[in-house]
Structure 1
Amino acid sequence: MSRITECRICGGSDIKPVLDLGHTPLADRLVKPSQLSEKDPVFPLEVGFCPNCSLLQIMETVPPSVLFCEDYPYYSSFSEHLLKHSKENVEAIIAERGLGSESLAVELASNDGYLLKNYVNHGIQVLGIDPAEGPAREAEKIGVETLNDFFSKALSTRLVAEGKKADVIHANNVLAHVADLNNFVAGIAQLLKDNGVAVIEAPYVKDLVDHCEFDTMYHEHLCYFSVTALNHLFSQHHLSLNRVVRLSIHGGSLRLFVGKQKEVESSVTELLELEHRSGVDQIGYYQDFSKRVNHVVESLNALLHKLKSGGSSIAAYGAAAKGSTLINTAKIGTDLIDFVVDKNTHKQGLYMPGQHIPIYAPEALLEKMPDYTLILPWNFTDEILSQQREYTEKGGKFIVPIPEPKII
């Protein structure tokens, strides 16, 4: 672990602290039964703002080999909403860019092949790159060629030397995970064909701050991006941010279209202007964030304690990384939450980091019928409600914690 002294984009040294979530465990380091007697390793989770390029970023870097390689439990294909979202994205790109059998689609942090399999189904060549062994193995099983490695400029150099150049590069929800952003983006610039496009998705810092989505902050997420900061990053590598689409997924995200040719659309200039008017590029925009986080934490704790003291039983849905930040920041343990359920079979039988709440299969909701269930991955609330209709029909109620705790 190391504390940064320079901004991850511009190298500026004047990073201003804006939020401190204390020392928390690694959000995706689920606990095995044999580890319950051990203390979970914890790391500082402090967030700072760079006034030079407007990047919001955490101040500590946990080595990627610790975060993403050993027993990494996240498998994208367990979310039906994400699968649909990715398929629609791919099919639109194939149609717009006229991709065919001679084209190459690359995904950085390709996980279990959830996105690239859509190109395979159209006869388009693919290459996935992901350091997590489990998801990479699953991708290979469905015909998605996957390189089990971290992406970097050095790896990009090797691929180009092998004759690989990409028509399209996807990088969904990975840019925030990268410690050396400039090395990563330099690799994209090198691997991309002159007329190619990089299609990048990242949670949007304006939505995060406006809706108090502090649980999106954990050690895997090193950065929280505005269009202003991203425009600065890409321009450093002679790439042009040409189009931006705002998405509702993950509580509010950006889909960025980046290329070597400068073809900037109004969607980019309009968002840059909006951010400047809103003050997203100024530290004042972030200075009351800490107070609003404390309000959400206190309100959720008060609600859960009131329900529990009234004799209600409470479970949680989704052993998500954001759920780990939420329960550890709010100190929500087994005194309040009896168990967590999750569709991901790789998480079942384990325990939540820090608070050691057991994780079961979703069937446990109907078997045990807790009175209330706290939705930890609240960004998938609609999908969860649809899946758990029988639970609500039998009288179970859900609690959504963000942006304000409420019972639905």
Structure 2
Amino acid sequence: MRRLIWLSYCPWVIASLGAIGEPRGLSSTLKIGNDTFAITPRIVGGDFVSSADVFPYYVHGVDGDLCGGSLIHPEVVLSAAHCVKAYSTGVILRTLDWMGYDSTSEFYPIEYNFPHPEYTPGPELNDIMLIKLATPVVNAQVVQLHRNGTIPPAGTPATIMGFGLTSEGGNISTELKQATLEIVEQSTCEMLLPGLFVSDIHLCAGYPEGGQDSCGGDSGGPLVDAQDTNLQYGIVSFGIGCARPNLPGVYTRISSYIDWIDEFLCTRTDNPPANCSQNISESSQIPIDMPSESTALWQATSSPSSTPVTTSPTSSPSIVPSRFPSQAPSSTPSDQPSVVPSQAPSLAPSAVPSEFPSLVPSALASLAPSLVPTGSPKTKNETKPASPSVVSDLLNEFPASSSVRRYARFGFKTILLFIFFG
């Protein structure tokens, strides 16, 4: 309450704190203390534009939202980051009709949008976007950007234009309108819009008595010098309601993003500006991470890379095991026994007897008596041990007088010779 009383002595008086600004094309809310304010998109007041040639660089999009923009290069449009939905297919240029139905209008398809990578909705920080057109504008008349880091003096007249709401909560204008405002002192903007206005990246413009302002649907449009309408100072961003007394509209300050814009123009256009080497500083004020030169943001490459990503093995093991086993055994034995038993029996007996008896009996009878006696006594229900002569036991299965026994004996001997010497 004390702060409001103190502000009453300033020519910019806060008349009310309802409905705190909106990106002038979308809606969101902002909480300051215990109060929640609505932030909305936004020309209120002003006059109709007489000819499309008055602002030949003005463009707008009507895909999902209604937003404005400005042509800064034959292939590039400048707008607000929160307007990305309005520019999904193309831009309408050189028209006085919001749907582009007049004879002078032109339509250009969009290749991709590039909102500022650090754009923050709500407080609308870094509310700026570059739009790359799929085809360059024919006979383009581009707006010049305010490159001087100094703020236009307070009271400097500035012009806005758009098809936005003609009153707060009213209807959009089907014809292009314009209005002239005054640049407001930065310190006054900070005082009137606490928690919203950021001096380093914003400008604000309006009148203490209100009456003229940008409004919903004007977002992304240019704020230009009223005397030299080909010089752009800012981009329509947000405000508290529309045309309210003592509540100026907020605009993204272009001079804060010149390096970021220049880097895009010089590296992502087919015909870069002639002064690119002077425009791009050694370290841009704001980092830029551009989409691929050969593909749009939504496109994938047409074929896989012909070379592997890495040329040497990684320093750490793979998290996922390989699909196939190694083609060669390891050069040194492992410290632990194999978890999975081998598929074939060993070709030679173990040099050292196992510490524990085998859990599974051998599939074949032993060809020789055990070298080491078993370590545990026999239980009462164990069977009688086998005869030491395996061949004799097998032959006893045949009748003594049968000639089969002779052939069997010969056959077994042959098998034994094959086993031991073959």
> What is the TM-score of this pair, normalised by structure 1?
0.21
Write 1 or 2 for the structure with the bigger share of helix. Answer: 1
Larger Rg, first or second structure (1 or 2): 2
> What is the TM-score of this pair, normalised by structure 2?
0.20
